[in-house]
Amino acid sequence: MLRGKQERETLWNSATANEIGLNLFNQSAIKKLFFRCYKKRYQYIIS
């Protein structure tokens, strides 16, 4: 009983850790894309 609960919690913790990691990765990827577009637009305005 206790072992099953621990296993479930470990699975849940690793799942949330993966989700958090994915969210952080997606956020940084979106930021990079945004800055890339922003820089292009900025250069276009300057020139």
Per-residue pLDDT of the chain (47 residues; tens, 9 = 90+): 567 787 778 777 777 877 888 888 888 888 888 888 888 877 766 65
Q: Residue 10's Cα: distance from chain center in Å?
A: 21
Long-range contacts of range 21-26, CB-CB < 8 Å, 24 or more positions apart? none
pLDDT at 6: 77
* Residue written as token pair 């072992």: 3
Q: Residue 35 contacts by C-beta under 8 Å, 6 or more apart in sequence?
A: none
Give the model's pLDDT for residue 21.
82
Rounded CA-CA distance 29/37 in Å is 12
The whole-model pTM stands at 0.41
